[in-house]
Amino acid sequence: MTRSSSPTPLEAHSLSLLRDGKQVLSEVSFALSPGEIFALLGGNGAGKSSTLLTFLGFLRPSGGQALVNGRSVDADVAAARAAIAYLPESATLYPHLTARENLDYFLDLAGRRADAETLEAALDRVALAEEARGRRLESYSKGMRQKTAIALALLREAPILLLDEPTSGLDPVAIDEFHAMVKALASAGRTVLMVTHDVYGACQVADRVGLLRSGRLVGSFAAEPGGRIDTETVHAAFAERTVP
């Protein structure tokens, strides 16, 4: 995990959120270091996706702050979004375009250009099969679409990645490949906040896991030096058999 003296990439300070009169988040606080993978674990309705949308500026806190690189998202939404690449559960790419065409199109929308060699290098990094790159995405598996979306994030050179249930619907091999890719990105200095309900996956890939329950952060688990987070401990807390 890479550390530096750079501003803290992501911080939640007593973050609270009301949606349609319902308390979705209640005084949630955490901070991520550069190059860290933090998994926010919780069941349906725990407030995981709402946390991501708050960092993107699509939801406004009712209390506390969401900060990106030390600045409040509310104060400068454009700067926050420029620093972030967001991967939703189902990546929104065009099925009638090839992987290369999708990358070229979305980069152009973002005001960026990349030559063919740079595009191929990004697809190499995410291990998308070369024979698939010229095919339309309508023929892709979900894992292949996820790889294409990650390649786009790499080409945008965003230092922060927000991942929403990134392995949902993937087979075990694709999940292992995805986790290896995320770890490589973190090792290269990117900061990753992923939300998931997958206890095993969170413990396998993350440096830290935060347990979110009914909008409250009720537990935090860190990996031992050189090891992984203990899955049984986290699973017991997730299943509400124990309260951290």
Domain boundaries, the chain: 1-82+160-244, 84-158
Question: Of 46, 23, 55, which is closest to residue 193 (Cα–Cα)?
Answer: 55
CATH superfamily of 84-158: P-loop containing nucleotide triphosphate hydrolases (3.40.50.300)
Q: How far is CA 123 from CA 94, 134, 145, in A?
A: 17, 12, 11
What type of residue sits at position 193? Answer: L
pLDDT, mean of residues 195-201:
92
Q: Which residues contact 57 (CB under 8 A, 6 or more apart)?
A: 73, 74, 77, 80, 81
Q: Return all residues near 51 (Cβ < 8 A) that are at least 6 apart.
A: 12, 15, 25, 28, 40, 195, 212
What fold does the segment set 1-82+160-244 form as a domain? Rossmann fold (3.40.50)
In the block, residue with structure tokens 């290369």:
100
- State what percent of residues in the chain have pLDDT above 70: 95
Percent of the chain residues topping a pLDDT of 90? 59
The answer to whether residue 198 scores a pLDDT higher than 70 is yes
More confident: 85 or 226: 85
| pLDDT exceeds cutoff 70 at 244 | no
Rounded Cα–Cα distance for residues 158 and 154 (Å): 7
- Number of other residues whose CB lies within 10 A of the CB of residue 38: 21
Quickly count: other Cβ atoms within 10 Å of residue 21's Cβ.
Answer: 5
pLDDT value at residue 142: 82
State in Å, rounded, how far the first CA of the chain is from the last one.
25
pLDDT at position 5 = 57
pLDDT tens per residue, range 122-175:
998 888 899 999 999 999 988 888 889 888 888 888 899 999 988 887 788 888
- Do the domains 1-82+160-244 and 84-158 sit in the same CATH topology, yes or no? yes
Q: What confidence tier does 3 reach under pLDDT thresholds 50, 70, 90? A: very low
- pLDDT at residue 137, as a whole number: 95
Chain mean pLDDT for the chain: 89
Mean pLDDT throughout 45-56?
Answer: 94
| Residue 31 in this model has a pLDDT that exceeds 90 | yes
Task: Indicate the SS3 state at residue 16.
Answer: strand
At 150 the pLDDT is 83
